[in-house]
Structure 1
Amino acid sequence: MHGRTEVAGLSLERLAHIDHFLQTQYLDTGKLKGAVVLVHRRGETAHLGVLGAMDAERGRPMRADTLFRIYSMTKPVTSVAFMMLVEQGLVALDDPVAKYIPAWKNLGVYDGGFMETFRTKPCERPMLIVDLLRHTSGLTYGFQQRSNIDAAYRKLGIGEIEVQGTLDSMIEALAGLPLEFSPGTAWNYSVSTDVLGYLIGKISGQPFEQFLRTRLFDPLEMADTGFYAPPGEADRLAACYTLTPKGVVLQDDPAKSPYLKPPSFVSGGGGLVSTAQDYLRFCRMVLNGGELDGRRYLSPKTIRQMGLNHLPGGQELATMSRSLFSEAAYAGLGFGLGFSTTVDPAATLIPATVGDLSWGGAASTFFWIDPKEELIAILMTQLIPSSAYPIRRQLRTLVYSALTEMNG
Structure 2
Amino acid sequence: MAYRSFDDIALDRRALLRSGALFGGGALLAGSPLASLLAQPGGPAAWPAVSAMVEDYAGARKVANMVATLGWGQAAPATIARGTLTVGQPEPAGPDSLYRIYSMTKPVTGMAAMILIEEGKLGLDQPIAEILPAYSRMMVQRTPDGSVTDLVPAERPITVRHLLTHTAGLGYSIVQKGAIKTLYEDQGLIPGQVSRIQLPGLGRGTPVRGLAAFADRLAKVPLVYQPGTKWSYSVGLDLLGRVIEVAAGTPFDRFLETRIFRPSGMTSTWFRVPASEVGRLTTNYGILGGTPIPLDPARSSIFLDEPAFPFGGAGLVSSPRDYDRFLRMLLGYGKIDGRRVISEPAVRVGTSNLLPDGVTTKGTFADGAGFGAGGRVTTDGVYGWGGAAGTVAFVSYKAGLRANLMTQYMPSEAYPVHTAFPAAVLKDLAAQQAAAKR
TM-score, normalization: structure 1? 0.87
Preserved contact between residue 73 and residue 361 of structure 1 (Cα < 8 Å): yes
The aligned counterpart of 2:101 is 70
Name the SS of the counterpart of 1:55 in structure 2.
Answer: coil
* Equivalent residue letter for 2:386: G
CA–CA separation in structure 1 for the residues paired with 2:186 and 2:59: 40
**Counterpart residue number, 1:387:** 413
Tell me the equivalent position of 1:240: 284
Structure with a larger share of its residues in strand? 1
User: Equivalent residue of 1:152, what SS?
Assistant: helix
Stretch moving more, 81-90 or 117-126: 117-126
TM-aligned CA deviation for residue 197 of structure 1: 0.8
Q: Does 1:80 align with 2:124?
A: no
Distance change in 2, residues 1:96/1:249 (3 Å): same
Structure 1 window deviating more from structure 2 (265-274 vs 238-247): it is 238-247
Given candidates 108, 114, 119, the residue that maps to 2:139 is 108
Counterpart residue number, 2:404:
378
In the other structure, the counterpart of 1:332 is 368
Residue deviations 1:259-284 (CA, integer Å, cap 9, x gap):
11332311111111110111111111
Matches of 1:395 and 1:57, distance apart in 2: 25
Report the equivalent of 2:22.
none
Matched, 1:123 2:154: yes
Q: How far apart are residue 312 of structure 1 and its match?
A: 3.0
User: Could you give the per-residue CA deviations for residues 99-152 of structure 1, whole angstroms, max 9, x where no partner exists?
Assistant: 111112111001269999622101121111110000101111111142422221
Q: Which residue pairs with 2:71 in the alignment?
A: 40
C-alpha contact (below 8 Å) 1:10/1:402 kept by paired residues: no
Report the counterpart of residue 351 of structure 1 in structure 2.
Answer: none
CA distance in 2, matches of 1:46, 1:105: 46
The answer as to whether partners of 1:75 and 1:268 remain within 8 angstroms in 2 is: yes
Are positions 1:53 and 2:89 aligned together? no
Question: What's the counterpart of residue 186 of structure 1?
Answer: 230
Work out whether residues 33 and 53 of structure 1, in 8 Å CA contact, stay in contact via their aligned partners in 2: yes
The answer to whether the Cα contact below 8 Å between 1:290 and 1:298 also exists between their aligned partners in 2 is yes
The offset of 1:8, in angstroms, is 3.5
Q: Is the 8 A contact 2:191 2:314 kept in 1?
A: no
Matching residue's letter, 2:418: R
Rounded to whole Å, the distance in 2 between the matches of 1:127 and 1:113 is 17
CA contact (8 A) 2:187 2:208 kept: no
Equivalent pair of 1:75/1:338 in contact (CA under 8 Å): yes
Say which structure, 1 or 2, has more relative contact order (CA 8 Å, 6+ apart).
2
Identify if the C-alpha distance between structure 1 residues 244 and 221 changes in structure 2 by more than 3 Å, giving closer, same or farther: same
Q: CA deviation at 1:43?
A: 2.5
Q: In the alignment, does 2:180 pair up with 1:149?
A: yes
How far off is 1:36 after superposition? 0.8
More displaced 10-residue stretch of structure 1: 90-99 or 9-18: 9-18
**2:389 is matched with which residue: 354, 363, 382?**
363
The percent identity for this pair of structures is: 35
Q: Is the 8 A contact 2:245 2:252 kept in 1?
A: yes
* Aligned-partner Cα distance in 1 for 2:144–2:376: 33
Distance (Å, rounded) in 1 between the aligned partners of 2:148 and 2:398: 52
Q: Which of 244, 251, 255 is the aligned partner of 1:211?
A: 255
- Decide which moves more: 260-269 or 378-387: 260-269
Q: SS of 1:222's equivalent?
A: coil
1:19 matched to 2:63 = no
Q: CA RMSD in A?
A: 2.4
In structure 1, how many angstroms separate the alpha carbons of the residues matched to 2:209 and 2:229?
A: 30
> Which stretch has the larger CA shift, 384-393 or 359-368?
384-393
Change (3 A) 1:288 1:66: same
SS in 1 for 2:104: helix
- Taking a change above 3 Å as real, the CA distance of residues 175 and 145 of structure 1, as seen in their structure-2 partners, is closer
Query: Match for residue 398 of structure 1?
Result: 424
Q: Distance in 2 between matches of 1:374 and 1:48?
A: 17
Separation in 2 of the partners of 1:330 and 1:201?
28
3-state SS of 1:357 partner: strand
Amino acid in the other structure paired with 1:284: R
Of 139-148 and 83-92, the range deviating more from structure 2: 139-148
Count of aligned pairs: 383
> Which structure 2 residues correspond to residues 338-357 of structure 1 after superposition, within 5 A?
338-343=374-379, 354-357=380-383
Unpaired segments ≥5 residues, structure 2 = 1-36, 194-206
CA deviations 1:325-357 (Å, max 9, x no partner) are xxxx364211112210113xxxxxxxxxx1210
Shift of residue 392 of structure 1? Answer: 2.7
Corresponding residue SS for 2:242: helix
**Alignment CA distance shift 1:246-1:339 (3 Å):** closer
Flag the 1:114–1:83 CA change in 2: closer, same or farther, 3 A: closer
SS at match of 2:362: helix
